[in-house]
Amino acid sequence: MRSILKCLIAVAMACTASSAWSATIDNVKKNGMLTCGTNSATAGFSLPNNEGKWTGFVVDYCRAVAAAVLGDAQKVKFIPLTPKDRFTALQSGEIDILAHNATWTSSRDTSLGILFAGTYFYDGQGFMVRQADNVTSAKGLDGASICVTQGTTTELNLADYFRSQSIKYTTVGFADEEAVVKAYEEGRCDVLSADTSTLNASRLRMAKPGDSVVLPELISKEPLGPAVRQGDDQWFNVAKWTLYVMVAAEELGVTSKNIDAMKSSDNPNIRRLLGVEGGIGKDIGLGDNWPVQVIKQVGNYGEVFDRNVGKDSPLKMERGMNALWNKGGIQYAPPIR
């Protein structure tokens, strides 16, 4: 009996002890590994390549954070998550940072115990239909069956859009993004609806990509960004400024290739970014050369975009809204100083 009591006390103490948890950045440094939640399979964004190595746009963002904190872009453990499970995984501490195709919304920022740390990809929701159906506009989708991923803003936007247009439709929802694409491909639905980046990525993996077209309408704003837990401001800053450093590097013309030469640049902005003078590392809890590690090992924003989803990738997406603010887009980094 006494041993049972001891057990109970031990369990109770274990529960209490777990409430005192340390800052995320210390945990990551202690483990020597960043745990990053990403999409399970979205071409161009997060997908294991032939050698089983994770590649993609959001994957590169995680690598950038690892480079900033640990000095090594390879020290990342990727946890593939369905949209349905991603926020719970972040809330519960299973992952350090969420780099998913997750849309930044007010309710997610305020009611889930998480914070979005910026926008790495400006997107919008669209529709993909079969060419043979001869549909040219979303207004022609009356009575259609639409495949969507559960637990996304896609589901909510659809309901809003079709209600406001008084168009009847039925949704067919799955938790897993791959099941959704499969259901569309096999004809269970007439329409596949998701963020246009995801639509393009999905089409690339279909057996007959040419059979489907993306309709011109975008029915929503989908700013996709990384998210961290609330209440850890230091870690929030790391997530936010890693992204801004990449954008600022593109703006200043610093790339992974010319970075060593750039260190001797006369431009004070470049010198500050690269930690040559008045570095930005100390107050954030990192070394002054962390931006150098990010740019050298992963690249600037433009390089990451082109390599994964842009002109150097099979997806061939336009920069569009994701071009820099001075090149017709809206990607803009606050001053690094």
Partner 1 sequence: MSDLSLPARSRRSLSLHDKKVRGIFYQVLLAGSLLALALGIGIQTASNMRARGIPLSFDFWNESAGFDINQTLIPYDTLSTYGQAFWVGVVNTLYVSFLAILLATLLGFVVGIARLSQNWVVSKVATSYVEVVRNVPLLLQLLFWYNAVLKPLPPPKSSIAIPGGIYLNNRGLIIPEIQLHPGAGLVGLAFAAAVFCSIAFWFYAKRVQRGTGKQLPVFLVSLAALAGFPLVMFLAAGEPVSFITPHLRGFNFQGGHQLYPEFAALLIGLSVYTGSYIAEIVRSGIQAVPKGQTEAAYALGLSPGKTLRLVIVPQALRIIIPPLTSQYLNLTKNSSLAVFIGYPDLVQIFAGTVLNQTGAAVQVMAITLSVYLAISIVTSMAMNAFNQHSAIVER
Q: Which residues form the interface with partner 1 (CB under 8 A)?
A: 1, 4-5, 8, 11-12, 15-16, 18-19, 83-85, 87-88, 91-93, 108, 111-114, 133, 141-145, 150-151, 155-156, 158-160, 163, 169-175, 179, 183, 186-188, 190, 229-231
For the bound state, the minimum distance from the C-beta of residue 159 to partner 1, rounded and expressed in Å, comes to 4
**Closer residue to partner 1 (CB): 231 or 328:** 231
For the bound state, the minimum distance from the C-beta of residue 138 to partner 1, rounded and expressed in Å, comes to 13
**Closer residue to partner 1 (CB): 231 or 334:** 231
**Closer residue to partner 1 (CB): 108 or 205:** 108
Instruction: Answer for the pair 82, 174: CB distance below 8 angstroms, yes or no.
Output: no
For the bound state, the minimum distance from the C-beta of residue 12 to partner 1, rounded and expressed in Å, comes to 5
Rounded to whole angstroms, the Cα distance separating 93 from 66 reads 17
**Closer residue to partner 1 (CB): 87 or 116:** 87
Between CA 22 and CA 27, with CA 25 as vertex, the angle to 5 degrees is: 55
For the bound state, the minimum distance from the C-beta of residue 133 to partner 1, rounded and expressed in Å, comes to 7
**Closer residue to partner 1 (CB): 14 or 261:** 14
Give the β-pairing of 34-39 and 76-81. parallel
Which residues partner with 36 through β-bridges?
78, 97
Instruction: Answer for the pair 149, 54: CB distance below 8 angstroms, yes or no.
Output: no
**Closer residue to partner 1 (CB): 85 or 217:** 85
Rounded to whole angstroms, the Cα distance separating 60 from 99 reads 9
Instruction: Answer for the pair 27, 186: CB distance below 8 angstroms, yes or no.
Output: no
For the bound state, the minimum distance from the C-beta of residue 57 to partner 1, rounded and expressed in Å, comes to 23
Rounded to whole angstroms, the Cα distance separating 183 from 159 reads 20
Helix axis angle, 177-185 to 196-204, nearest 10°: 60
**Closer residue to partner 1 (CB): 190 or 303:** 190
Per the structure block, which two tokens stand in for 254?
Answer: 């610093």
Closest CA to 209 of 193, 185, 244, 233: 185
For the bound state, the minimum distance from the C-beta of residue 246 to partner 1, rounded and expressed in Å, comes to 28
Per the structure block, which two tokens stand in for 72?
Answer: 């090594």
For the bound state, the minimum distance from the C-beta of residue 130 to partner 1, rounded and expressed in Å, comes to 10
Indicate the DSSP class of residue 71. S
**Closer residue to partner 1 (CB): 186 or 283:** 186
Which residues partner with 173 through β-bridges?
148
Helix axis angle, 57-70 to 301-308, nearest 10°: 140
Instruction: Answer for the pair 165, 139: CB distance below 8 angstroms, yes or no.
Output: yes
For the bound state, the minimum distance from the C-beta of residue 19 to partner 1, rounded and expressed in Å, comes to 6
